[in-house]
Amino acid sequence: MPNILVIEDDDIMLKAIRNILNKDGFNVVTAKDGKEAFEMLETAEYDIVITDLMMPYANGLEVVSRLRNDSNKRNVGIIVVSSVGNEETITEAFRLGADDYLKKPIMAGELLIRIRKLLAYKTSKALFVTKRK
């Protein structure tokens, strides 16, 4: 089962996302801020990172940027989940390399569908690259 890192500083939202994902069978690790997230990213590999934007120590955009600039973690799927919904912020998240963006409050079904689609895309992309070699 895929490993997912959820980075969220709001305890209620963090528990809600973790419960949704655990119930669906995903392996979930959580971090409460950018600093803790960077420590988690150094010690384990994740298939998907779900990150909030507004957090202490390092915001979600910094998380996205660091993942995309790390050659070992460049292929991790990234979903940004935030209450910030202005076009400039959303555009910046995608420009830095986010794969998807969900506005809070999230719906469990939508989150799960987007995770499955992202995992399917990453799998098909990896198969395509392998076959081309």
Helices (H), the chain: 11-23, 34-43, 60-69, 87-96, 108-132
- At 48-79, the pLDDT tens digits run 999 999 998 999 999 999 999 999 998 999 99
Residues 6+ apart with CB under 8 A from 17: 6, 8, 50, 81, 106, 111
Q: What is the pLDDT of residue 21?
A: 98
Instruction: Give the residue, 5 or 124, on which the prediction is more confident.
Output: 5
Name the strands in the sheet holding 77-82, side by side, starting at the edge strand that comes first in the sequence.
Answer: 27-31, 3-7, 48-51, 77-82, 100-103
- At 80-97, the pLDDT tens digits run 999 987 899 999 999 999
- What average pLDDT does the segment 30-43 reach? 95
Domains of the chain, first to last: 3-132 (3.40.50.2300)
Q: What is the pLDDT of residue 92?
A: 96
As a whole-number percent, the residues of the chain with pLDDT over 70 amount to 93
Q: What pLDDT band is residue 126 in, cutting at 50, 70 and 90?
A: low
Predicted confidence (pLDDT) at residue 128 exceeds the cutoff of 80: no
Instruction: Give pTM, 2 decimals.
Output: 0.92
Predicted confidence (pLDDT) at residue 30 exceeds the cutoff of 60: yes
